[in-house]
Each structure stands twice: as C-alpha cells, then as structure tokens.
Amino acid sequence: MKKISIIIPAYNEEEELPLLYERLNKLMNEIKKYEFEVLFVNDGSKDRTIKIIKELRNKDERICYVDFSRNFGKEIAMLAGLDYAKGDAVIFMDADLQDPPELIPELIKYWEEGYDDVYARRKSRKGETWLKKFTSKMYYKVLQSLTRVEIQKDTGDFRLLDRRCVNALKRLRENSRNSKSMFSWIGYKKKEVLYDRDPRIAGKTKWNYKKLIDLAIDGITSFTTSPLRISTYLSIPTFIMLFIYFIYVIVKWIKTGVFIEAFQVTILLILFFSGIQILLFGIIGEYLGRIFNETKNRPLYFVNEYNGEKELNDKI
Ligand code: UDP
Ligand code: MG
C-alpha cells in the first residue's frame, strides 16, 4: 500500500492541535486506499505543542514528529519535514486549519492521474485585510517580471508533492529558503486546485509585516540576481546625460567663442565619474551574482523521464 505523509510545521499551536487531529483522523479513516503518516515538525514552540503531539502519538501511531532544538522558522521546518517523511507523496499543511483537510482527497485524485505537484490556489482570503491582499498581488507581479520561472499566484504551501519532487527539493539545501519559489523552480507536472482559504481557527498569526517583507526580499533575491543589474542599467542614462551635455558645451563654445566655463567642467566631471562609478558597481554586482548562484550549490537540472521511466532523482 502506498503511503502519504502529511507534513505540518507547528509553532505555538496548542489550541489548534486537538481539532486539527480530529479532522485529519476522520479524513484518514475515510481514505482506505492509502496508509497515512502525520509528521509534525515542532518548530521550537514555547507552549504545550510538543506535549500534545506526544499525547497524540501515544494513542495513534500514524502521528510522527520532528522536534527542533529551537525555532528555525517555517521554511526550515518544511525542509525537515521532507527529510523525515516516508511517504510516496507528501502534503504540506498549516496547523491552524486555514488549509481545509477536506481538500486532500481532491489533491490525491490528481496525483493518481499523474500530476507531481498538486497545489491549492486560494479563491478567497477570508480574515485577511485589504492591504495584505493588495501587497501580495503586487509582490507576485514584481517577482514574475524578474524571472522566467513561472510563479504560481495565490498559492501558499498547501500542496501535494510526489516523491520525486520531494527528492528534488531535498537537494536544494540553501540557507535562506523560499519554498514557494523552489516549488516553481524544480518544475514537473503541476495542477491547480481552487479552494476557499478559511480564517485561522484559534491563536494568532505568527507573521507580521516585517517577517512578510523579509520573506518577500528572500523570495526575490533567492530567485534572481536581476536587482544587481539595477546599477548597470542606471549607468546608461548617466552616460547619455554626459554625452548630451558635452555636445551642448562644445556647440556653445563654437557659437559664442567663449571657452568652457568652470561650472560646465564641474558638471561634465561629475557626470563622467558618477557614470563610471555606477558602472563599476554594476560589474561587481554581476560577479557577485555569479558567486551567489554558485555558492547555492544547486544541481543544474532534474530529469523527468529516462527511457520512458519516471526519474526519481535519488542518485546524485
Ligand atoms: N510556523 C512555524 N514556524 C514559525 C512560524 C510559523 O512552523 O516560526 C507554522 C505555524 O505553526 C503554522 C504555519 O507555519 O502551522 C503558518 O503560520 P501562520 O498561520 O502564522 O501564517 P499565516 O497563515 O498567517 O501566513
Ligand atoms: Mg495561518
């Protein structure tokens, strides 16, 4: 029988866990075709989260857990989940029931049809402010314009991944992680499922605007080095201005017969040297970008099929 691992990063979720278990348990009992494993990653919770998880494990051996030594953040918790999951497929879910477990059968259905990455896309975002919706929309736009990797809009981490996606993701072991961009980056056959995102059932969101901005910057910088090009591009208008002003000074000199004035020399020099400086920054940026890409140590490609067989990417 095939196994499905449900990976749930949890940070201070004591209030949510009993209800979460109840809903998952009901669902797992209904789906008889698969064996299940619920893998909690306790991300250094300060409340009774780990105690409750252990209690759950005592009465239900499908419950597994990884307990972190401290809070490492959701992204790292997700990676640990991938490392420890035993399933032929994994499903990522939040502990706060914002991702309805009732959608899982649909995710599984598409996996059975041969999709490797079945992701849930939010139709609505209940309980989220207008500002959060707007900023997230703008963010997707900017990110997409910077890269040729296709970005999935309005998707979180709620998704089902085939084992070979899991193996692929396990090989992306960079420090500043942004799972969303990694899901896109590895490729494979993707399928979208629409759902209504519910408000959190209890507790408080662990995100604030600072964390979101950090995540957004991580997202952009881990995806592309194009911000480093800004400098190179900025040097172009500076040199154009230098050129135009130079022509103007020469023409004026010929017309009036008065030799270049001191302030004109100053302007010319400022434009010339600032242009050179910006350009040099750009060049340094280009090299920095290459070093940055190399130090990530990512494998250069993944194979979908080899001689008609699905590639598992587990041989390095
Ligand atoms: N989470 C985590 N480590 C953290 C912050 C959050 O493992 O440092 C988990 C949290 O327990 C939840 C999920 O990540 O299961 C999503 O967190 P949250 O609901 O606070 O984020 P939001 O839904 O508001 O984006
Ligand atoms: Mg949440």
Domain range list for the chain: 3-224+300-310, 226-296
Decide: 176 and 99 in contact? Cβ < 8 Å: no
Expressed in angstroms and rounded, the spacing between residue 141 Cα and the centre of ligand 1 is 24
Sign of CA dihedral 237, 239, 243, 248: positive
State residue 304's pLDDT score: 59
- What residues have CB less than 8 Å from 267, skipping those under 6 apart? 245
Residue 195 C-alpha from the chain's centroid:
20
CA distance 118 to 108: 8
Expressed in angstroms and rounded, the spacing between residue 206 Cα and the centre of ligand 2 is 8
Q: Which ligand is nearest to the CA of 157?
A: 1
Tokens 């270049």 found at: 260
Decide: 117 and 161 in contact? Cβ < 8 Å: yes
State residue 12's pLDDT score: 92
Expressed in angstroms and rounded, the spacing between residue 181 Cα and the centre of ligand 1 is 18
State residue 308's pLDDT score: 58
pLDDT in tens, the chain (316 residues): 999 999 999 999 998 899 999 999 999 999 999 999 999 999 989 999 989 998 998 899 899 988 888 888 898 899 989 989 999 999 999 998 888 888 999 999 999 999 999 999 888 766 677 887 788 788 888 878 877 778 787 788 899 999 999 999 998 888 777 888 889 889 899 999 988 877 777 777 776 777 777 777 777 777 777 777 788 888 888 889 899 988 988 898 888 888 778 888 888 888 888 888 888 888 888 888 778 777 777 765 566 566 557 777 775 5
CA distance 145 to 263: 41
State residue 126's pLDDT score: 66
Q: Indicate the helix (H) or strand (E) that contains 190.
A: strand 190-197
Sign of CA dihedral 205, 210, 216, 220: negative
State the closest ligand 1 atom to the C-alpha of 12, by its place in the atom list counted from 1.
11
Expressed in angstroms and rounded, the spacing between residue 160 Cα and the centre of ligand 2 is 18
State residue 137's pLDDT score: 82
Ligand 1 in reach of 42 Cβ (< 6 A): no
Expressed in angstroms and rounded, the spacing between residue 15 Cα and the centre of ligand 1 is 14
State residue 164's pLDDT score: 94
Decide: 103 and 195 in contact? Cβ < 8 Å: yes
How much is the CA Rg of the chain, to the nearest whole Å? 26
State residue 17's pLDDT score: 92
The CATH class given to the 3-224+300-310 domain equals alpha beta
State residue 169's pLDDT score: 93
Ligand 1 in reach of 80 Cβ (< 6 A): no
Burial 60-94 (b: 16+ CB within 10 A, else e): eebbbbbebeebbbbbbbbbbbbeebebbbbbbbb
Q: Can you list the alpha helix ranges (DSSP code H) found in the chain?
A: 17-30, 49-59, 74-84, 104-112, 130-146, 163-170, 179-186, 209-223, 230-256, 262-295
CA distance 50 to 8: 13
State the closest ligand 1 atom to the C-alpha of 204, by its place in the atom list counted from 1.
20
Residue 55 identity (one-letter amino acid) = E
State residue 306's pLDDT score: 62
CA distance 251 to 22: 83
Ligand 1 in reach of 98 Cβ (< 6 A): yes
Tokens 């780990």 found at: 50
Token duo for residue 284: 């340094």
Token duo for residue 27: 């669902």
